[in-house]
Each structure stands twice: as structure tokens, then as C-alpha cells.
Structure 1
């Protein structure tokens, strides 16, 4: 039995020089930005857009940027769930023995990956919002719900008067990201050695049982880094739905900048909020990778 020594972080002299040079460059750029730009900074105005005190109700309320971040989270979570479902199904279709399933999945992936997401957003926005929602009388249905139900739904999907736009954005992001997840699933399944399929078949397992119990557990560990990157991409790509007035983080940043002209303060704050969100996602996925490796 051999002991695996823990890896220690070693910083060599070239590493230290490089880090010092980068720190110096960043410090100089920051200094020039503060002193050299013909711009008056107003960082003291930013906290009110993160959290504000409502004097009328004597309570603290989330600011516009925080509300936008909550909408971004809703968009990302729902889109990730639907994209995972669509991606896994289409990814498995891509490696199916059935020609029809392979053709169906290939058409979906090829069509979505070669269409700009902005075009998809407008198609779904006008088709779902103007046609499907009106045909199904969704707004009347929502208006007839009890107040407690509408409150719960607003926590899950945002303001109910914007539900059609929210659903259009979620479906667009889910279909778009699902095409890339499908390719990740396909590549992960095909990366598992043929001998694993043969061994499972030798044990009397059907193709579906082999896929579920033997192939997918091995493929998942290989797919996880790529899937993590795709989930983080969903968070970043959600900014594009601001074009249909979804009040997510980027839209709120645009609105605040338009009214206050605090371009740098607002967009730096939005950048930091996106970075913190995606960085936390990266840490969570890394933790999951370590758990799967131990198992």
C-alpha cells in the first residue's frame, strides 16, 4: 500500500516575478483609471441599487440590481433544468441504434447550433407571447388564481404580468443550451470503451440497462467538466433576453445607467455580480467532481 503525498503549492522565482509584474500592470491601470480619466466616480450611489430601506414599510428591500440577479437565477435554473432534460434525451438519441432517432437529434442539434440565439428569442417571444399564450388565455387563468398561489408562482417565475416573456426566454435558452448539452452527452457516452458494452451484454443486461447501470455512470464523470462549463454559460447567456425586456441583471443595469449615467460603476458592479455567481457555480461543480472521484 502506497501513500499519496498531498500536493503542495510551489511558487518559483519566475512565477513570483510574473505575478509581481501582473500586479504592477493592474495597479497602474487602476491608478490611471482613477486619476487619469475625465470621469467623476459615484460609488456611494451603488449600494441603494443592491439593498434599500423602505421608509413606508420600515423594512429593507432588495434593490434593482439584486432583483435583476434574482431574475437571472430563475432564468438560469429553469433553463438549466429544461436544457438538461432536452440535452440528455437528444444526446442519447444521437447514439441510438435507431436511424430515425439519430436523424431527429442530428436535425435538432444542427438547426439550433447554427441559428443565432437572438433570432430564436424573437421567434419564441412573438410566437409564444402573442399566439400561444393568447390562445390558451394564460393571463386570465393566472388572474383567477388565489393570491397565495400567485405569490408562490411569482417567487418561482417572477412577476406574473411578465410570465409569457419569461417563458419565452426560458424555452429559448433551454433549446439553445440543450443542443450543446446533447453533444456533450453524445461524446461522453461514445468515450466509454466498447468493452464495457460487451461486458454488460455478457452479463445479460439489455442495452438500456447497460446504458443506465454501466455506461452512464462512467460517462458522467467524464462529462462533468464540460457540463459545468455549459451550466455557467447558461448564466452568462441569460443576459441576451434583456432584448425582450426581461428584468434580469443586465436589463436592470441598462436601466440604471440610462437614468444615472453612472456607466463604469454600474457595469463594474454587474460584472462582479455575474463573476461571483459563476465562480460559486464552478466551486460547487468542483466539489461534485471530487465526490464522484472518491466514489
Structure 2
């Protein structure tokens, strides 16, 4: 700790003092000017709470929302990686029609506000797919079963399963465009000489992509993909607008019912920060060790 402090420059101390002063001013404004009564003591009950009837701890609103956010982020990342890889390959296709379709999809997402995109995907694709597959009836059937522990571990409350799937699909389709651009850049970073060498030994374009280009490209795109995964976690708050009960949605519910405005939102910000910063440190360490 002392060694770390010795490395700090006077400018670091100045920046730290400015940051502390800024947050102190905000605290003074809220506590003094707004005459806000802090009630931090109630926040832990909305994270974990003791159930007197069952005599056990259970996850309350904020922890339920955090669990949903983690699930949605993991599943959406997997789908976004699959869709994005296909999109990235399509952007490098020799077929002009395929390239133009992939680019149209990308430009559509890049030039329309994310909120609008979320509503478009939800009403015109995600909700239609859920209705077509009759997922609501299936999820309610699972929810009535006694042996549903495995389902709830992976998907949470099965009564909310259609909402979870909607959020995953919408977020994956939105993020896949950015993943596609990352994959496209990785593919195009492979030198033409390697491709020509692959063709000279009789490889088809599919074999060239599978055995030569993609293995090298995916190694190069791991760091930006890790950053995109962290961005996806933060972007998941957008899907609260379509009533997906993730962390932001649960925070809105908590604020509406208790008026713990600043306590709830500061706690939510802390959850996002710990999750994203922890993953950032993990990915950085993995990148150094590879």
C-alpha cells in the first residue's frame, strides 16, 4: 500500500481531491438544499431479506434484478457472438448481395437511437416469436411443477420466462451488429498472403475461412469482444423500457414504492460498477496471461 502511494504524482492527489470535493458537494446539496432524509438502513432489506415464515433468507428486489441482468447478459452475449460472427463473415463475403444485406443491417442499427431499435425489435420480432412458439403457456406449465429448481437456476422465475427471452433476443440482435464489425475487422486483418497460400494448396473458401482465417481472427478480436461484453451489461438497462425485470426495472419499482430515490439508484450504480469493473480486471488479467 505504501509503495502504491509513493508512485502517485501530485497531480493524482489533486484529481483525487477534486473528485472527493465534487461528491461532497453533491452530498451537501442533497442533504442540505433538498432537505433529503437519507434512509440507508432500509436498503439491505431490499437486497437480502429474512423470511420469518420459511425461516430463510431470500433475494429481494435489487438482488432479483441483478440476477436477471447477469442471466440476460450471458445469454445475450452468446447469441450476439453467434449472430455477430455470421454477420462479420457476411461483411467479407465475395457475394455482393450478402455484403450489402449485412451492411444494411449494420447501418440501420448505427444510425437509429437504441431506444427506438429496442421497441422495433420487441414488437416486430421478439414478441411475435414468443407468441408463435407459445412460450407463455409452456413457461406457466413449468412454473406449476414442483420440480423446477434447475429451470429457476438458469432462468429465474419461470412466470417471467417470456420477458427474459424477449430481453435476450432484443439485446442480442442489437449488440450483434457491433460484434459483427469487430469480427469483420479481425478477418480483414489477416494478410492476403495466407489466403492465397490456402488456395494454392487446394482449400475451398469455406476451408480457408474455417482453418486459416477465423482461428487467427478470433484471437485478435478477444480484447474488443471482452469490452463489448461489458458494454452489453450496461446496455441491458435499456430493455427495462419493454418491462424486462432486470436491475434497472427493479430499481424503478423500488423507488416508486419506497421513495428511496438516491439510496436505490446509488446502490444500483454500485452493482453495475462492481460487475463491470470486476469483469474488466478479469479480462485484462486473462489478456496478459495469454
Determine helix, strand or coil for the equivalent of 1:46: helix
**CA deviation string 1:32-63 (max 9, x = no partner):** 34445322222211111111111111111112
Shift of 1:182: 0.5
CA separation in 2, counterparts of 1:208 and 1:263? 55
Counterpart CA distance in 2 for 1:41 and 1:143 is 40
Please, what TM-score do these two structures have when normalized by structure 2? 0.87
- Cα distance in 2 between the residues matched to 1:178 and 1:125: 15
What CA RMSD, in Å, does the superposition of the two structures yield over aligned residues? 2.5
Alignment correspondent of 1:250: 248
For normalisation by structure 1, the TM-score amounts to: 0.86
Asked whether the 8 Å contact 2:190–2:216 carries over to 1, the reply is yes
Matches within 5 A, 1:180-199: 180-199=178-197
Please give the residue correspondences for 1:22-61 in structure 2 after superposition, counting only pairs within 5 Å.
22-36=15-29, 37-38=31-32, 39-61=36-58
Aligned counterpart in structure 1 of residue 109 of structure 2, from 108, 112, 117: 112
Separation in 2 of the partners of 1:175 and 1:130? 14
Report 1:118-129 matches (<5 A): 118-127=115-124
Deviates more, 1:250-259 or 1:152-161: 152-161
Give the match for residue 72 of structure 1. 69
Contact 2:88–2:184 (Cα < 8 Å) also in 1:
yes
CA 1:121–1:11 in structure 2 vs 1: closer, same or farther (change >3 Å)? Answer: same
Q: Displacement, 1:173?
A: 0.7
Alpha carbons of 1:162 and 1:99: their partners in 2 closer, same or farther (altered >3 Å)? Answer: same
Displacement of 1:10: 10
Aligned equivalents of 1:28 and 1:79: distance in 2?
39
Q: Tell me the CA shift for residue 226 of structure 1.
A: 1.5
Aligned residue number for residue 284 of structure 2:
286
Please tell me whether the aligned partners of residues 126 and 169 of structure 2 are also in contact (alpha carbons under 8 angstroms): no
| Number of equivalenced pairs | 283
Long gaps (5+) in structure 2: none
CA contact (8 A) 2:126 2:170 kept: no
Q: Provide closer, same or farther for how the CA distance between residues 86 and 134 of structure 1 changes in structure 2, counting only shifts above 3 A.
A: closer
Q: How does 1:149-164 map to 2 (within 5 A)?
A: 150-164=148-162
- Cα distance between partner residues in 2 of 1:275 and 1:164: 28
Any conservation in 1 of the 2:195–2:208 contact (CA below 8 Å)? yes
Change beyond 3 A, Cα 1:200–1:276: same
* Equivalent-residue separation in structure 2 for 1:220 and 1:136 (angstroms): 34
In the TM superposition, residue 187 of structure 1 has moved relative to its aligned partner by 0.7
Q: Distance in 2 between matches of 1:224 and 1:252?
A: 32
C-alpha separation between the residues in 1 aligned to 2:96 and 2:4? Answer: 51
Deviates more, 1:51-60 or 1:120-129: 120-129
Distance in structure 1 (CA, Å) of the matches to 2:38 and 2:63: 21
Give the CA deviation at 1:151: 4.1
The question of 1:20 aligning with 2:13 is answered yes
Deviation at 1:262, TM superposition (A): 2.0
Cα–Cα, structure 1 residues 236 and 201, in superposed 2: closer, same or farther, change >3 Å? same
